[in-house]
Amino acid sequence: MSPLGERWEPMEDDRPAAEAAPPDPDHPTLGVVQGVGAFLWWGIVTSCYFKWLDRVSPWELLAWRVLGGLPVLLLILAFRRDLASLGVAFRDRATRRTLLLSTLLISANWFCFIIAVVTERLREGSLGFLINPLISVLLGVFILGERLRTPQAVAVGLAAVGVSLLTWSQGALPVLALILATVSAVYGLLRKRMPAGPTTGLCLEMLALFPAMLALQVYLTVRGETLFLRDAEVTFGLFVGGVVTIVPLVLFASSARRLRLSTVGLLQYISPTAQLLLAVLAFGEEFTRWHAISFSIIWVAAGLYTFDSVRHAPRR
């Protein structure tokens, strides 16, 4: 699950689970800088990247997250002389059991986030990432049999009130937000059980996705529904998509090794905050008083849950 600070497994539009490594007390400031950089990248750079390419098919954007990202990951592992970790991880039975489902979930997460940006629903996407930790709490209760402390239960209840108000004001459930939050939470639960580290795990998932994404790109090309190699700007944009995907992963993994998980958990709210501000102030998405009320309630819920989780976080 993904409670902040205790058993936190972060994931936004594209983040893998963090390894539970002891913090490095010698470089906490660097860890904070890297963490802030990672979450700002996910919140601003990734959002602006897909907005820039919003004339491209969402399916093609999804394909190039893998086609462009996998070579970058392989180069990183090669530079670290760690390519052998792929074989070691894949030979692990637990990894193989969870790999297929985690691969499907991360691709669904990426696709839903792309849809949120290109269909001018980034505000709703930010809501999904905001309530993601609270959905993780419910997974812990119903799947892992965990018990909620009173502040946690109040936080979940407040989040439910906020979503209900938003549903009532709009006349429809924020389906995209709920899908993003649920998919992210389930992915975090699975990745928690996968022994592979963040870079190795994501590389295995991309390797599993690569044949399907290559076939998808070929299909779009045959159908004449691709802009790849037909538009110079788009072609360049698709190529750099791998870097856009991988840079925050590297920053985040480095940050997680230097900071307590409770600190990293606090930083994760930078992304949905940045996305909401970007959606309303830069992309011109609607933000009514009911949105303000609902988001405020959900922020109170997130703050309460964060405070309780940090207060009970084990000190390593």
Task: Report the mean per-residue pLDDT for the chain.
Answer: 84
For residue 13, pLDDT beyond 60: no
pLDDT band at residue 11 under the 50/70/90 scheme: very low
Phi-psi region of 147 (alpha: psi -120 to 50; beta: other; left: phi over 0): beta
For residue 142, pLDDT beyond 80: yes
- 140 or 32, which is more confident: 32
Angle at 194 between CA 190 and CA 199, to 5 degrees: 105
According to the model, what pLDDT value does residue 8 have? 40
According to the model, what pLDDT value does residue 145 have? 79
Q: How many CB atoms lie within 10 A of CB 36?
A: 14
116-130 pLDDT per residue, tens: 999 999 999 999 998
Pull the structure tokens for residue 264.
């990293």
According to the model, what pLDDT value does residue 27 have? 61
For residue 221, pLDDT beyond 70: yes
Provide the residue ranges of all domains of the chain, joining segments of one domain with +.
28-311
For residue 18, pLDDT beyond 60: no
Over residues 233-242, mean pLDDT: 94
